[in-house]
Amino acid sequence: MILTVQLLLLLTLSLRTDGYNEYTVGECVFSAALTDVEFIVSYYFNKDPYVRFNSTVGEYVGYTEYGVKNAERLNKGPELQRIIGERDRYCTPNIQTFSSHILVKSVEPKIRLRSEKQASGDHPAMLMCSAYDFYPPAIDVYWLRNGQKVTGDVTSTGEMADGDWYYQIHSHLEYTPKSGEKISCVVEHTSFKKPIITDWDPSLSESDRNKIAIGASGLVLGIVLSAAGFIYYKKKSTGRILVPN
Ligand SMILES: *[C@@H]1O[C@H](CO)[C@@H](O)[C@H](O)[C@H]1NC(C)=O
């Protein structure tokens, strides 16, 4: 589980009327154990990054002609030494602050796995794995099919704010059921010590359970009414005196 915290916005120049936006984003990216800290500074023009410093790479890398030129210039000058030091100067103390103020307030998600659509004809089945009421928003929800991570046919809503500091997310898996396979939803969140794996039980989906419950109730009701009717009839008929005519 990787946490990304955008801890600073170095510079934003916006000229909205003409649709130009030049901005710089600094990020500290770190694992849930607060190790493997990476410091990233990206320079964007509109939505495209054109030059980026990544502390793991250790130098600036350009993505456009202008970006490459700037990366060369920055990598030669004293700027490079300064930015290399930013990981320890900037990220390390801020991650500590983040940890002691935000991560200690983490709240476990409630996980639900259900069938959204059953397979019919050539249409695949769909499962939905939901996590509700968790904090902070950083979360990983993914699927395992026979122990292998599923890469395709998965769509996710992304973390959605409930508006009360809690978040929810829904991941959908489309698949063609095969007998004997095992499908699981995995949720990783900073509130969990280890990933929570929920196995899909195809034999009893919730809607099936409801149908069975309704059917069984109807059957019981029918039996009770028939029995009552039968007893009533018996009582009536034994109480009657048959007079031959
Ligand atoms: C930084 O560089 C490392 C090594 O190339 C890479 O694994 C990592 O994904 C990069 N981080 C970002 C946020 O691009």
Instruction: Mean pLDDT check: name the lowest of 21-25, 87-91, 149-153, 240-244.
Output: 240-244
Residue nearest to atom 6 of ligand 1 (CA): 56
CA-4 nearest atom, ligand 1 = 13
Query: Both 96 and 117 in a single domain?
Result: no
| Full residue range of the structural domain in which residue 153 is found | 110-199
CA 158 to mean position of chain CA atoms: 6
Ligand 1 centroid – CA 150 distance (Å): 23
In a domain, 15, yes or no: yes
Query: Both 143 and 81 in a single domain?
Result: no
In a domain, 211, yes or no: no
Helix (H, G, I), strand (E, B) or coil at 122: coil
Give the whole-angstrom CA distance, residue 196 versus residue 114.
16
Among the candidates 103, 125, 140, a domain finishes at 103
Query: Both 94 and 118 in a single domain?
Result: no
Would you say the pTM of this structure is higher than 0.75?
Answer: no
In a domain, 214, yes or no: no
- Phi/psi for 98 (5° steps) reads -60, -45
In a domain, 226, yes or no: no
Query: Both 15 and 87 in a single domain?
Result: yes
Q: Is residue 163 predicted with pLDDT exceeding 90? A: yes
Q: Give the mean pLDDT of the chain.
A: 87
In a domain, 187, yes or no: yes
